[in-house]
């Protein structure tokens, strides 16, 4: 009996061992021949810094937080694809006429607005398209910047699913304008166009036709929270994430207090060393946008109309130091971001900068002073009148002057005082100059002494009079430096003994040798005015102020006095920018997905400063007030041509034109960091044109996954796999 019980126990143990071994082998087989794939469901929570405002695709230009939400709630006829860097169909397909003046779009079948229910569907129709775009074209539309994109454009309904846009002129970038989110006409019935910005009811409960529907907005003590739910549309790409929660914090410090509950962080700031301020557990995605930060010369300012001055400032701007100072990387040399700049000719060159400035109307005081001394010396050494350039004379003293000039007849005077034949020297003359304040006497400072006969000037000379011994010694030393400078022009003088202008400085109005501790003098013009420039920049982002100070330091070495002006508020800055109240503006511009430079450099974008503040145009993007018929023509060609060769040739010519004219100094393109939790898979950004474009590939993101056998494998392969000999055990991955 005991033996049978023992046998049964052994058998049971063997069976258990067999089952355990079988299950382990089965598990190993499964993980070896299976793969993870995304699974629908889950919630993605992202944090950002900003301010939530009523949502409307028409009014999101200045609010990046709203752009993110709008890009998910609203869809346009077309959309930008960050992967292919092209415009592709979204709610509609596109057909373009050969002359690029007619654009026909056909809506996909079965499209619905988010307020649809099974009993009351709300379809997207061509009437909604007409409403969206005709509203933008209305003269009362309260966003003139957006309205400008549709000047000379008309839209009409073709049939139950199609609309047609007609352009007065060809515009190759027009498809980009059709990415604006559509709005449902039914929800805006009776609302005057001029009051559309005030439709807050819709703004806090928006209805769109995008991949996600707006579900709620909640204000908490630390943040504002927007919840979006997946809204499938017929024919749209599948999305895995069921819910998106966007938390908006007032500042980054507050965001970090909730970082454990976040799956992503939009635009992570950096510390002074350039490192992202984010927990190490996050995966970082760095990207840049088609943007550049530049120094825009206000060409309405007379002093900045001097091209040599602008060129000198460009050559003297060390962009590498600028980007290193603020931990950026990508230097920009042209506003045409799609072309190569590796052979840029106006790179930093301190010597060339001084050469360009030497040819400008602005010179260093030592150069101006030396030039005047040389001119005075030439006058003093030519002609019959010879006189010392510097004299030490107290008030009441008399200076006797002689010269080898045969005085014959009468009528000779020296500064109005009679000149006589020298009583002891044959063929010489004698004159006197006093310091008693009478007519013709020498005054303290520079004097012009004239030898005349009967009112006709025979010769002139310059003499400086001083009653002070110390000043006299400095003036004599100055004359010695002039002698040394003239001798330096001779090839007989060794290079290490030659005296250059750069070795001199002006101290108390006179030249002396420059010391290492001497600051660079401020340049002056012929009228003695100093070269002083007001550099305006925005209070946001704060890095602009740092860049401005670095530019101020660099230009100070060129002899330019720069005063950096940073208004306290963005509103004050915007007003000054609109009024062109600056000499130089440090600011950034974005070319968006079409890389169109036309608004920024065509003369139509110049601000016409007439008629007061009421006449200022918000869409006057030409911040340099740059006008060039050649550039205007090239910009027009780039906009209108559909031939790649013509466009490339025009871009190359425009690059050369702008480089020659120097309307601005292009500095760098900023990079940004997006942080995402490792629990979120499938994140790939591509080439973004806006921060919100990172969400254009959201259909690839997922937080849930499932494991299944590979397509070419089944459980029927299990036994052959065992017979071949199972591979060595591998670490078993953790399923999500």
pLDDT digits (tens, 9 = 90+) for 541-576: 999 999 999 999 999 999 999 999 999 999 999 999
76: its two tokens: 């346009």
- The span from the CA of 47 to the CA of 259, in Å, is 8
In sequence order, the 6+-apart residues with CB closer than 8 A to the CB of 303 are: 309, 361, 362, 525, 531, 583
Asked whether residue 671 carries a pLDDT value surpassing 70, the answer given is yes
List pLDDT tens digits, range 485-495.
Answer: 999 988 888 88
* Residues 538 and 575: beta-carbon distance below 8 Å: no
Mean pLDDT of 254-274: 92
Considering the chain, tell me which residue range(s) the CATH 3.10.105.10 domain(s) occupy: 291-331+530-669
The pairs formed by 652-661 with CB atoms below 8 angstroms and a separation of 24 or more are 652/339, 654/336, 654/597, 655/334, 655/336, 655/339, 657/628, 657/630, 657/631, 658/334, 658/335, 658/336, 658/601, 658/631, 659/334, 659/344, 659/345, 659/346, 661/307, 661/626, 661/628, 661/631
pLDDT of 694:
93
CATH class of 85-184: alpha beta
List pLDDT tens digits, range 158-170.
Answer: 999 999 999 998 8
Mean pLDDT of 186-209: 88
List pLDDT tens digits, range 653-669.
Answer: 999 999 999 999 999 99
- Collapsed DSSP state (helix, strand, coil) of residue 431: strand
Residue 725's alpha-carbon distances to 24, 285, 718, 722, in angstroms, are 14, 43, 11, 5
The model's pTM is 0.82
pLDDT of 79:
94
pLDDT of 34:
66
- The span from the CA of 256 to the CA of 243, in Å, is 22
**Residues β-bridged to residue 39:** 704
**Residues β-bridged to residue 418:** 413
- The span from the CA of 72 to the CA of 60, in Å, is 13
CATH of 365-513, one of 3.40.190.10, 3.90.1560.10, 1.10.150.120, 2.60.40.10: 2.60.40.10
Considering the chain, tell me which residue range(s) the CATH 2.60.40.10 domain(s) occupy: 365-513
In sequence order, the 6+-apart residues with CB closer than 8 A to the CB of 457 are: 450, 451
Vertex 523 angle, CA 519 and 525, to 5°: 160
CATH class of 291-331+530-669: alpha beta
Considering the chain, tell me which residue range(s) the CATH 3.90.76.10 domain(s) occupy: 85-184
Q: What is the mean pLDDT of the chain?
A: 88
Considering the chain, tell me which residue range(s) the CATH 3.40.190.10 domain(s) occupy: 36-74+210-289+673-736
pLDDT of 537:
97
Mean pLDDT of 47-70: 85
- The span from the CA of 544 to the CA of 564, in Å, is 11
List pLDDT tens digits, range 110-133.
Answer: 999 999 999 999 999 999 999 999
Classify the C-alpha dihedral 276-280-281-285 as positive or negative: positive
Asked whether residue 62 carries a pLDDT value surpassing 90, the answer given is no
* Residues 217 and 225: beta-carbon distance below 8 Å: yes
Asked whether residue 343 carries a pLDDT value surpassing 70, the answer given is no
Asked whether residue 302 carries a pLDDT value surpassing 70, the answer given is yes
pLDDT of 548:
97
Secondary structure element (H or E) that encloses residue 252, with its range: helix 252-256
- The span from the CA of 371 to the CA of 504, in Å, is 12
- In this structure, what DSSP letter does residue 182 have? P
Residue 329's alpha-carbon distances to 17, 135, 176, 350, 382, in angstroms, are 62, 42, 29, 22, 59
Strand 584-590 and strand 532-537: pairing?
Answer: parallel
CATH of 36-74+210-289+673-736, one of 3.40.190.10, 3.30.2130.10, 3.30.1540.20, 3.10.20.520: 3.40.190.10
Instruction: Give the orientation angle of helix 644-661 with respect to helix 629-640, to 10 degrees.
Output: 150
């Amino acid at each position: 009996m005991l033996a049978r019980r023992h046998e049964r126990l052994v058998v049971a143990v063997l069976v258990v061992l067999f089952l355990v071994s079988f299950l382990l082998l089965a598990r190993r087989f499964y993980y070896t021949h299976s793969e993870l794939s995304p699974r629908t469901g889950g919630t993605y929570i992202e944090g950002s810094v900003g301010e939530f405002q009523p949502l409307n695709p028409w009014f999101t230009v200045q609010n990046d937080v709203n752009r993110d939400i709008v890009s998910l709630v609203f869809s346009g006829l077309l959309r930008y694809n960050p992967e292919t860097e092209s415009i592709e169909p979204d709610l509609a397909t596109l057909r373009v006429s050969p002359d690029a003046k007619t654009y026909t779009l056909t809506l996909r079948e079965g499209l619905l607005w988010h307020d649809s229910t099974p009993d009351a569907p709300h379809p997207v129709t061509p009437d909604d398209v007409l409403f969206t775009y005709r509203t933008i074209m209305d003269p009362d539309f309260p966003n003139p910047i957006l309205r400008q994109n549709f000047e000379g454009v008309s839209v009409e309904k073709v049939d139950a699913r199609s609309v047609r846009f007609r352009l007065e002129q060809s515009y190759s970038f027009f498809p980009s304008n059709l990415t604006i989110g559509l709005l449902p006409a039914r929800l805006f019935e009776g609302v005057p166009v001029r009051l559309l910005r005030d439709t807050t009811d819709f703004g806090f409960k928006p209805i769109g036709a995008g991949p996600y529907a707006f579900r709620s907005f909640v204000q908490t003590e630390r943040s504002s929270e927007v919840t979006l739910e997946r809204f499938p549309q017929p024919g749209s790409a599948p999305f895995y994430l069921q819910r998106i929660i966007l938390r908006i914090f007032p500042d980054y410090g507050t965001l970090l207090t909730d970082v454990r509950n976040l799956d992503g962080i939009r635009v992570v700031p950096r510390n002074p060393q350039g490192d992202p301020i984010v927990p190490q557990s996050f995966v970082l995605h760095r990207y840049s946008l088609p943007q550049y930060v530049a120094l825009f010369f206000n060409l309405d300012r007379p002093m900045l109309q001097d091209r040599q001055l602008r060129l000198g400032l460009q050559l003297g701007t060390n962009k590498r130091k600028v980007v290193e100072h603020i931990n950026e990387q990508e230097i920009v040399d042209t506003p045409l971001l799609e072309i190569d700049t590796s052979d840029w000719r106006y790179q930093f060159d301190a010597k060339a900068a001084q050469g360009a400035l030497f040819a400008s109307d602005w010179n260093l005081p030592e150069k101006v002073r030396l030039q005047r001394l040389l001119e005075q010396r030439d006058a003093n050494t030519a002609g019959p009148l010879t006189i010392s350039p510097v004299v030490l004379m107290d008030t009441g003293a008399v200076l006797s002057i002689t010269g080898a000039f045969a005085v014959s007849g009468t009528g000779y005077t020296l500064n109005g005082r009679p000149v006589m034949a020298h009583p002891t020297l044959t063929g010489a003359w004698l004159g006197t100059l006093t310091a008693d304040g009478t007519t013709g006497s020498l005054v303290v400072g520079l004097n012009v002494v004239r030898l005349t006969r009967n009112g006709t000037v025979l010769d002139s000379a310059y003499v400086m009079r001083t009653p002070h011994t110390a000043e006299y010694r400095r003036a004599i030393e100055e004359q010695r430096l002039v002698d040394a400078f003239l001798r330096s022009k001779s090839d007989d003088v060794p290079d290490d003994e030659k005296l250059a202008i750069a070795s001199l400085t002006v101290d108390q109005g006179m030249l002396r040798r420059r010391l290492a501790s001497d600051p660079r003098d401020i340049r002056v013009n012929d009228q003695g005015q100093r070269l002083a420039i007001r550099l305006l920049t925005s209070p946001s982002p704060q890095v602009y102020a740092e860049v401005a100070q670095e530019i101020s330091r660099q230009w100070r070495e060129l002899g330019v006095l720069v005063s950096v002006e940073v208004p306290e508020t963005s509103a004050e800055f915007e007003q000054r920018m609109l009024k062109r109240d600056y000499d130089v503006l440090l600011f950034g511009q974005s070319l968006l997905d079409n890389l169109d430079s036309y608004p920024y450099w065509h003369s139509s974008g110049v601000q016409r400063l007439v008629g007061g503040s009421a006449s200022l145009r918000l869409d006057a993007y030409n911040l340099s007030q740059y006008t060039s018929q050649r550039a205007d023509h090239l910009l027009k060609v780039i906009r209108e041509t559909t031939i790649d060769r013509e466009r490339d040739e025009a871009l190359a010519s425009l690059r050369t034109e702008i480089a020659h004219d120097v309307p601005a100094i292009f500095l760098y393109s900023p990079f940004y960091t997006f942080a995402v939790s490792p629990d979120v898979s499938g994140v790939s950004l591509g080439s973004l044109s806006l921060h919100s474009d990172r969400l254009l590939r959201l259909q690839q993101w997922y937080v849930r996954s499932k494991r299944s056998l590979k397509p070419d494998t089944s459980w029927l392969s299990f036994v052959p796999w065992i017979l071949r000999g199972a591979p060595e055990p591998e670490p078993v991955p953790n399923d999500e």
